[in-house]
Amino acid sequence: MKRIAVFTSGGDSPGMNACIRAVVRTAIYHKIEVLGIKHGYDGMIKGEFSKMDSSSVANIIHRGGTILKTARSKKFLTIEGRKSALANLQKHGINGVVVIGGDGSFRGALEFSEICDIPFVGCPGTIDNDLIGTDFAIGYDTAVNTVVEAVDKIRDTAESHDRLFFVEVMGRDAGLIALRSGISVGAEAIIMPETKTDIEDLITRLESGRKSKSSKIIIVAEGDEAGGAFVIAEQVKKRLPDYDTRVTILGHIQRGGNPSAMDRVNSSRMGFAAIEALLAGKRNVMVGIIDKKIAYTPFQNAVKHHQRLNPDLVRMIDILSL
Ligand code: F6P
């Protein structure tokens, strides 16, 4: 292995920079040249390659976003796009690739492997944490902490005005951000796509709950089948008009910000392990951390199912919010 490429793809997530840094410095340690590709698969198609060295990743471990920029590439979905990408990898003499991204990025790598025999190793970068093969994807912990910080502030207003808040969080069609943040903020209910949403049940819970509670916070995962926070709040308001109800959509603040210590350490470990995987001859696998140990999962398994909600956590929600 003489020369590798690294790129970020899909939605950015805090910790991607720490992972790029680890990839670059581990490769250099092993005397492997590194080229960074800007703008994900789009940049691979357009030829946005540039050499990276130790100093190009200095002072980035603490920064959110990605210095390599990112994109969700439509062109890579076409065979012409993939052929141009392959031609560029070959032109630059690339013998291995590290892709930092989510399920779309790994699906892309799998599809690419039909025409490209250069080994790809993935590092899971997605705040949604919806991949099999790692307990925590890069950015998930930071995103949850961002939600917690924001909802703690909302709680102050909710408490002062005796209000019912519906707070919508990201996660695409996964409820993992909602679950972990909801438990952390002591939410009165957590609405997630993986569990059945019963508005009648929610209303009963709100009505039968402890009357002395002045504030109530319901966390709603954006992908819930009942609709987003606005839709659910409307339904509840019709039935409980006396509640002073508000809706907050947290949106993209969940994707930004300095990575937490946990994300910095995990990202460093995964970037380091990605280079070791390429050196060991692995291909089309995602690096992950399961039970504190590095694990490798084939791309096709990593993207197959969403990570399931921990049933122990789900069981606690209603009991702890009484
Ligand atoms: O996958 C990360 C994520 O932030 C999801 O939680 C969200 O549904 C989506 O990306 C938003 O994507 P975009 O930034 O392209 O609007």
Active site residues: 128
Residue 151 in contact with residue 217, Cβ under 8 Å?
yes
- Give the pLDDT band (50/70/90) at residue 65: very high
Show the DSSP H helices in the chain as ranges.
Answer: 16-29, 40-46, 79-91, 103-112, 140-161, 176-184, 199-208, 229-239, 261-279, 299-302, 311-320
The average pLDDT across 238-263 equals: 97
CA dist., res. 322 & res. 318, Å (int): 7
**How far is ligand 1, taken at its centre, from the CA of residue 11, in Å?**
6
Is pLDDT at 210 greater than 80 in this prediction?
Answer: no
> pLDDT (tens digit, 9 = 90+) per residue, 279-308?
999 999 999 999 999 999 999 999 987 778
State whether the beta carbon of 223 lies less than 6 angstroms from ligand 1.
no
State whether the beta carbon of 130 lies less than 6 angstroms from ligand 1.
no
State whether the beta carbon of 172 lies less than 6 angstroms from ligand 1.
yes
State whether the beta carbon of 177 lies less than 6 angstroms from ligand 1.
no
Give the chain's domains with CATH numbers.
3-139+259-304 (3.40.50.450), 141-255 (3.40.50.460)
Return the CA Rg of the chain: 22
Residue 224 in contact with residue 176, Cβ under 8 Å?
no
pLDDT of residue 258: 98
Choosing from 128, 140, 146, 250 the residue with most ligand 1 atoms within 8 A of its CB, the one to mutate for a pocket test is 128
The average pLDDT across 103-132 equals: 97
pLDDT of residue 308: 86
